[in-house]
Amino acid sequence: MFFAQKALTISPNSVHALIVCGYVSIRNGKERDALSYFTEARKLAPNSFEVQHGIVWTYINRHKYRNAIAKAELLVKQLGRNPRTLGIYGLATSYENKDKAIEILADAFAMFNGRGCLPECVSVLAELYMEKKRYPEAKALLVQKIEQEPAGETTAELHRLLGDCHSRCGQQQEALVHYEIAIRLDSKNRKAHEGAVAMRSVLNLDSRTAGTHQHQMDHSDEFSD
């Protein structure tokens, strides 16, 4: 935050610095400040997806979901229908109308076979599928997105969700494989740790065997890159 604010003092019209300050403000729970930064950035770059995305997230964090949906819908009209605009529209809609959100997010993902669709939106769609017990669709969605994304914190969360999906289907070994991959990619993923502990308990595995049994799974290599 310090460096972004310093950049603003040097160049008050820096859209990038305003966006950074906006997202840091959201992370720090200062939504009013975030909205001020994003609003100023929008004056300078009215067609910036990142700016509009930040505004939508600010309203979501303030629990003003109808405002978020309205801004996201405006974003689609302004920048056109594409995986990113539809994705954020579907994400915002998920707080008010889950069935409609599934339709929007599924359309966003289908546009370019998942490419271009934000991982955060894929995560929401997978969770909505699981709530509806549409597990095959959730699995296929997550596997496809994992294959498209570089390994890191983003794919860690996708693996965690895939672990949840397998767990709900009673596939404990497969679930543990993905929880452990998630932990390896992001050691701070609390839900992955909790899932792994639960699966080891069900499978009667000692914690010392963590991370070793997954190599016994025939299909685990495809997710280990």
Q: What is the pLDDT of residues 20-35, one digit of tens each?
A: 999 999 999 999 999 9
Between the CA of residue 23 and those of 73, 78, 91, 153, 184, what are the distances in Å? 21, 22, 17, 18, 26
- Domain boundaries along the sequence of the chain: 1-63, 150-225
Q: What is the pLDDT of residue 212?
A: 47
Residue among 205, 208, 162, 204 at smallest CA distance from 185: 162
Tell me the pLDDT of the chain averaged across its residues.
89
- pLDDT tens for 105-139 read 999 999 988 888 999 999 999 999 999 999 999 99
Q: Which residue has the higher pLDDT, 111 or 10?
A: 111
Report the C-alpha gap between 63 and 57 in whole angstroms.
10
- Within 13 Å of residue 161, how many CA atoms lie on the same side as its CB? 30
pLDDT at 211 over 90: no
- Per-residue confidence at 8, pLDDT binned at 50, 70, 90? low
Average pLDDT over residues 51-58: 96
Report the C-alpha gap between 16 and 10 in whole angstroms.
13
Q: What is the CATH number of domain 1-63?
A: 1.25.40.10
Q: What is the pLDDT of residue 218?
A: 44
Q: Which residue has the higher pLDDT, 150 or 224?
A: 150
- Say what the alpha-carbon torsion angle 30, 31, 33, 39 is, to the nearest 10 degrees: 160
pLDDT at 221 over 70: no
Average pLDDT over residues 182-202: 96
Q: DSSP for 106-143?
A: HHHHHHTTTTTS-HHHHHHHHHHHHHTT-HHHHHHHHH
Report the C-alpha gap between 52 and 56 in whole angstroms.
6
Report the C-alpha gap between 34 and 41 in whole angstroms.
11
pLDDT at 7 over 50: yes
Average pLDDT over residues 42-71: 96
Average pLDDT over residues 43-62: 95
